[in-house]
Amino acid sequence: MEVRQFWFAFAVALAKSVHMFKLGSFIVLVAALLLSVPVRGATAPASAGPFQVVENTNEIRISSAQLDAVMQSGFHDAGFGLDIVDWIMEPGSDAEYRSQLQGDLPYDFNNLYHGKRPKRTIEGPQICTQAKELSARLIQGRDFVAVQTSFKYRLAAPGKKPGSQWTQTIVFPAGKRYFVSSDSITSVNSSEAMFLRLDMPGHIRHKQGDTFTEVYLSYVGHVPASEFFVNFPPDGKFIYRRGTEEKPKRFIRAYHLRDASTGQQGPWLAGMTLDPSMGSEAWCHQRDYVCMIEEFGGRPIQPGQSFSAAFIVGFFDSIGEMERIYDRYAGANALYVDENVWKLSTN
């Protein structure tokens, strides 16, 4: 498929998650945005083996027996999305030059949203709300469909250059209730500890726990929904910091869905970082909704170098099922795809 320009990032709505649970209003998104803007170009319906793929001026729709996925601009969901990408950042405060920063680069801390840890943005804007235009490529294989998206950051802090490239690859394997993804940065700047921030596996909108029963964090354990009835900052509790907390065998973050209208318990929705060493910091805090942010990288980098992480995101019946899938691909931090094959690998 040709590369086309998507005005604002596309979103992926997943349904048909599990045979025992009607998903109803539980719509989840990847790289979700909340503004409706048209897409340039369109093609006719296509078939890729077990998938039906339809493109029009507003969306790409992928359907299989297990999954419905819709990539589009402007989709509104009950949450905010799954693999949502923000800025390129590093430790340290921007207080000395904050007045010089453009757009959404200023990063304030010592507050309920960001906690006490000083951090600063190297490049922006925040992709999920400000990118406006991304390059996207649809790839159809015999037993999978994939989408590759890229963006070059156009704002930079003083002493830094804009132009680092973010690339996201998402693969939908046939017969699965999950997708495989990878986010990577090729940097034009140097940093002692550059990292990329993303929402993984997304946030949880709720009213006193009506949409979920519990959260599972592999480095903490099971956390009941009642822990999220009152707001608290990212570093208040349930936070992971590489080098401070023990590295978990598996880096899994998930929540157990519940139908808000009936109370019926559903599947788990999980985001799994396949190389546990890539996660530099991750938290799960309450700020009127449950905010599940992860930062990966956090190591020295020079211009022209890259770093990436690989993920599995989707629906599972149990923690045990997540662990079995995780162990099959454990250690991967990159994802390759062409028309013939997709494969996870280690850079």
Is 149 part of a structural domain of the chain?
yes
pLDDT-derived band at 66, boundaries 50, 70, 90:
low
Is 256 part of a structural domain of the chain?
yes
pLDDT-derived band at 113, boundaries 50, 70, 90:
confident
pLDDT value at 43 more than 60: no
DSSP per position, 203-251: -B--STTSSEEEEEETTTEEEEGGGGSS---TTTSS-EEBTTBPPPSSE
Average pLDDT, the chain: 83
Q: What's residue 120's pLDDT?
A: 97
Q: What's residue 172's pLDDT?
A: 93
Is 165 part of a structural domain of the chain?
yes
* Structural domains of the chain, count: 1
Pairing of strands 51-55, 191-199: unpaired
The whole domain housing 161 covers 3-93+105-345
DSSP per position, 126-168: -HHHH--EEEEEEEE-SSEEEEEEEEE--EE-TT--S--EEEE
pLDDT-derived band at 131, boundaries 50, 70, 90:
confident
Is 190 part of a structural domain of the chain?
yes
Q: In this structure, what CATH number is given to the domain that contains residue 18?
A: 2.70.98
In sequence order, the 6+-apart residues with CB closer than 8 A to the CB of 328 are none
Please report, for residues 30, 75, 223, 298, the alpha-carbon distance to residue 34 in angstroms, rounded to integers and kept in the order given. 12, 6, 29, 29
DSSP per position, 87-134: EEEEES--GGGGGG--TT-----SBTTTBS--EEEEEE--HHHH--EE
**Of 194, 173, 170, nearest in space to 183 by CA:** 170
pLDDT value at 294 more than 50: yes
Is 100 part of a structural domain of the chain?
no
Cα separation, 36 vs 226, whole angstroms = 35
More confidently predicted of 83 and 318: 318
pLDDT-derived band at 81, boundaries 50, 70, 90:
low
Q: What's residue 136's pLDDT?
A: 79
Range in 47-51, 60-64, 290-294 with the lowest mean pLDDT = 47-51
Is 299 part of a structural domain of the chain?
yes
Is 339 part of a structural domain of the chain?
yes
Location of structure tokens 């990118």:
131
State pLDDT tens for residues 143-162. 999 989 899 999 999 999 99
Residue 283 pairs with which residues in a beta bridge? 293
Is 98 part of a structural domain of the chain?
no
Percent of the chain with pLDDT over 90: 64
Contacts 24+ apart (CB under 8 A), 164-167: 164/88, 164/122, 164/123, 164/188, 164/189, 166/85, 166/88, 166/127, 166/196
Tally Cβ neighbours within 10 Å of residue 289: 17
Mean pLDDT in residue range 83-98: 92
Q: What's residue 31's pLDDT?
A: 35
At 277 the three-state DSSP class reads: helix
Q: Specify the pTM.
A: 0.84
Location of structure tokens 């190389």:
275
pLDDT value at 49 more than 60: yes
